[in-house]
Amino acid sequence: MAPPIYVLGTGLSHNGSAVLLKNGQVCVGIEKERISRKKHDGGNDTLAIQYCLDAEGISLSDVSLVVQCANFDIPDRNQFRGERIFATVNKPEIINISHHLAHAYSAVGTSPFSECAVMVIDGCGSPLNQFLSMHPEQKKNIDSSFLNETEMICEKDSFYHFDGQKLTPLIKDFSKMSGATTTELKLPTTEHSIGGFYAAVSLYVFGDMDDVGKLMGLAPFGNAKGFNFNAFEFQSGSLLVTNNWKKHFTNPSKGYEYFKKHFSYYANVAKWAQEQVEKAVITCIANRLEQFPHKNLCYTGGVALNAVANAKLEDAKIAKNIYFEPAAGDNGLALGCAYYGWLDYLKMPKVSHDGSTCFGKQYSEKQINEALQEKSNKNYNKKKFETDEPLILYCAQKLNEGKTIAWFQSGSEFGPRSLGRRSILAHPGIEGMKAHINKNIKFREDFRPFAPAVLKEKVSDYFESGRNSPYMILVDKTRPEYLKELCNVTHCDGSARVQTVEETWNPRFVKLLNEFEKQSGIGVLLNTSLNKKGMPIVETPKEALYLFEISALDILILENTVVEKDNLTN
């Protein structure tokens, strides 16, 4: 039997990651921040690569090809913000691809389509000169106005066709980088980036341009009727950010207390910005599909994580089928690198993906026990269930009683959402639960929302559109008759960022949802990531125990082991 073919993808931008394909299928993948415990960590990739090799039980010599991607850099084999794992060996071969191409391959590799169009929209991609140095054959596809530009210009949005094996660029738009002036509303990326615009408004509202997800959560509290101006215009096939809107925003946040004092104002700004992004995304993608129609569309890049805009895009019906890449941000670059290596460079056939985003390694009972032993001085009650049924019965009962559960199961999710492997679970309808989790477990702002997890086949019972949303990146509207029962997972405008749970890759979570419905009459659970504000999602049992210790979590489930605090009432 021939040895397996391993292709390693590595992303070295912020939100760095590594992914290993085995014979064309993902066998392991991890974001660097999950191991280093530094939010949005990137740069040197040795830590993430070693995790993948160890999880698969192989060495670097077993890898056939490495494909890498970093924004604004073509990384050296030996050094990139420290010595790399490749420094002392000549093999495997390392090749480079551009930022948007990595995004695009991450989508087509995991999508259900054998042929499709692909749209990439983000904050900023590769500079044109680096793009051409990596892909010189693409020069003929670049507009002459971009080739003649003397200032640095970077990928802004890209539109491709995938024929089942290879991506062909159809439209690539570039933009100059923003000028050197420093104002609260200076776009941190290119001059005409949707992602850059949203980051600039995030900085204005929160004082942090990385809080774009928080901005989407704030928007439902606002009203944009007082803002009768636009941030975007479409000219000659290119989406541009105007400058006129900036003059209307002269009151940047001066800290959290100031933000709370002027909450309504900042919520209105967030609502306006959200609506601008929604219109811009639909306008841009509709234009591309008008020129190159296709029934199947893959959508990726950081802007594709905007769940509200995604739902509006789906409702616009500009494509029959849309696949939203769950790791659409830069954490997905390694995934795209690996798929490029398999499909384009090695010219191997696409292997069907099962839809799972759970690429992390599983922790053994021995590792769990070792972590528990370190906490032997704590007054925790521990017990182990040998089979699923009593564990599920116990968890459903406690959730129905109003207890909060840290749910640690199997390999962790790849991407920004916890989908039932590293989750905090709670009752969706007990009054005050949302505020309790935000304040005493997540240690974050009280307006931040939580997601409803629901069985795929029951989503239409509780939500109006009944969207299939396995990755928690589409919103829906909670049906009016369930607003009270789902008060902790429904935004103030009636919307909810739904997760539809599938048995094929989340069987234990399905069992829990079924049992909770039997006991409570509600087939929905509150689901949020197993972390606190500013902390990457928990990866190891030790980290889960740390969060359990410092927060008001009631119960921790580590695979089949239950950990309770001694003050838990039974």
How confident is the model over 103-161, as pLDDT tens digits? 999 999 999 999 999 999 998 999 999 999 999 999 988 988 899 998 899 999 999 99
DSSP-assigned letter for residue 463: B
pLDDT number for residue 186: 66
Scanning 378-463, the segments in alpha helix (DSSP H) are: 388-401, 433-440, 459-462
362-388 pLDDT, tens per residue? 999 999 999 999 987 788 999 999 999
pLDDT number for residue 18: 98
Q: What are the start and end residues of each CATH 3.30.420.40 domain in the chain?
A: 6-101+334-345, 112-324
Average pLDDT for residues 202-229, to the nearest whole number? Answer: 88
Q: What angle separates helix 541-550 from helix 365-374, to the nearest 10 degrees?
A: 40
Tokens of 527: 């689901």
Residue 167, pLDDT > 80, answer yes
Q: What are the start and end residues of each CATH 3.90.870.20 domain in the chain?
A: 365-565
Helix, strand, coil: what percent of the chain each, to 5? 35, 20, 40
Q: How confident is the model at residue 509 (pLDDT cuts 50, 70, 90)?
A: very high
CATH of 112-324, picked from 3.40.50.10440, 3.30.70.1730, 3.30.2320.80, 3.30.420.40, is 3.30.420.40
Average pLDDT for residues 285-311, to the nearest whole number? Answer: 97
What are the phi and psi torsion angles at 211 (to 5°)? -95, 35
Average pLDDT for residues 464-475, to the nearest whole number? Answer: 97
Residue 185, pLDDT > 90, answer no
Task: With beta carbons less than 8 A apart as the criterion, state whether 561 and 382 touch.
Answer: yes
* Cα–Cα distance for residue pair 436/535, rounded to 1 Å: 18
Residue 569, pLDDT > 60, answer no
CA distances, 132 to each of 76, 143, 172, 511 (Å): 18, 13, 12, 51
Cα 183-536-549 angle, rounded to 5 deg:
125
Kindly state the percentage of the chain with pLDDT values over 70: 97
pLDDT number for residue 181: 44
Global pTM reads 0.95
H or E stretch at 544: helix 541-550
Residue 196, pLDDT > 60, answer yes
Residue 187, pLDDT > 80, answer no
Q: Is residue 262 exposed (0-12), middle (13-18) or buried (19+ Cβ within 10 Å)?
A: middle
62-103 pLDDT, tens per residue? 999 999 999 888 999 999 999 999 999 999 999 999 999 999
pLDDT number for residue 180: 47
512-558 pLDDT, tens per residue? 999 999 999 999 999 999 999 999 999 999 999 999 999 999 999 99
Average pLDDT for residues 186-213, to the nearest whole number? Answer: 82
| Average model confidence (pLDDT) across the chain | 94
CATH of 6-101+334-345, picked from 3.10.20.30, 3.30.420.40, 1.10.3720.10, 3.10.180.10, is 3.30.420.40
> What is the architecture of the domain spanning 365-565?
Alpha-Beta Complex (3.90)
Q: How confident is the model at residue 568 (pLDDT cuts 50, 70, 90)?
A: low
pLDDT number for residue 570: 45
Residue 177, pLDDT > 90, answer no
- What residue type is assigned to position 302 of the chain? G
